[in-house]
Amino acid sequence: MELSAQTIADYLKGEVVGDPDIKVKSVARIEQGKPGDLCFLANPKYENFLYSTKASVVLINKSFEPKEPVSSTIVRVDDAYQSIASILDLFNSMKSAKKSGRSWRASVAFSAKLGKGSFVGAGAYIGKKSAIGAGAQIHPQVFIGDNVSVGENSILFPGVKIYNGCVIGANCIIHSNVVIGSDGFGFAPAPDGSYKKIPQTGNVVIEDDVEIGANTTIDRATMGSTVIRKGVKLDNLIQIAHNVEIGENTVIAALTGVAGSAKVGKNCQIGGQVGIAGHITVADNTRVGAQAGIMSSVKKEGETLLGSPTFDAKEYLRAYSVFKKLHKQ
C-alpha cells in the first residue's frame, strides 16, 4: 500500500511543504527513516534527526519551525503524535482485513450464539450459552467458557482465556495469553495454620473500548464484579485482583499489581511496576511514577506521586536530593 504526501495531508487535515506527489509505503522512526518511509517529529529531543533523515515524508507540528533546511517533504499537522497514531491505524486497517466464518476445527456449543460477520479460528472453544457479537474476531486457541458475552468487533488474540460468566464489551482488544476471570486470591486462615479457600463467586466485567496487553490477568470477584471501565488501557503483565475497579480512560503500564478491592479513578496514569494496596481508593487524574507503592488512599485529584510509600512528586525529588547524599556525611 502506498500513500502520497497530499493524501496523508488531506486525511490528517494538514498542509504539505514540498512534493505533494511523493509516496510512502511504510512508517519508521525518524532516526531510521529511509526513502519510502513516513516519519514524525513530536519530541524536541529528536529534532537533529529531522535534518539528516532520509525519510520521504515527515509529520511535524504546525507550531514547530525547523532551524535548518529539511530534505524530506513535510506535512504540518496540529499534533504529530496523534497524527502518526491515526496513520498507523490506517495502514493496519488496510493490511489486516477482518475475517469471518467459523473454522471446522473450532468447538462451539450448540447453545452459543455467533454474531453476523464474526470469526472463530481453529482450536477455539466457546462454551454453553455464550454470545459472540457481530464482527468479533476470536483467534485460534482462544477459550471462552459458559455464559460469556463478547461484544461487537472485539478482538481476542490466540491463547486468551475467558472464564465462565465474564462480560467483554464492544471494540475491545485482548492480546495473547490474557486470563480473565480466574479465581481471586482469597484464603481464610484456619486455627491449625492452614488456609481455607474462599469461593470466588463473582465475575469480571470489561466495558467498551478497553485494550489489555499480553499475559495480563484479571481475577473474578469474590462476590459481585471486578470492573474495568470504558476506555481503559492495560499494558502487558499486569495483575488486577478480585473486586478491583479501574475507572474510565485510565492507563496502566507493565508489571503493575492492583490488590483486592482497590478502586482506581478515571483518567489516571500509572507507571510500570507500581503496587497498589488493597481496599484503598485512588482519586481521578492521579499520575504515579514507576516502581511507586500506593499504600493508602489518594484523596486529592490530579496529584503526581513518586516513591514507596508515595507522596507528592516535587516533595519526593527534594527529599531525594538530600537522602542520596546521606552516606557521604
Catalytic residue among 139, 175, 242, 327: 242
Helices 5-12 and 80-95, axial angle in degrees (round to 10): 110
Q: Is the dihedral of CA 69, 74, 77, 82 positive or negative?
A: negative
**Distance between CA atoms of 215 and 230, rounded to whole angstroms?**
20
Q: Which of 226, 233, 270, 260 is nearest to 248 (CA)?
A: 233
**Distance between CA atoms of 63 and 281, rounded to whole angstroms?**
39
Sequential DSSP letters for 7-43: HHHHHHT-EEES-TT-EE-EE--GGG--TTEEEEE-S
Distance between alpha carbon 285 and the CA centroid of its chain, in Å? Answer: 17
Q: What is the DSSP letter of 179?
A: E
Query: 242 an active-site residue?
Result: yes
Active site residue ranges? 242
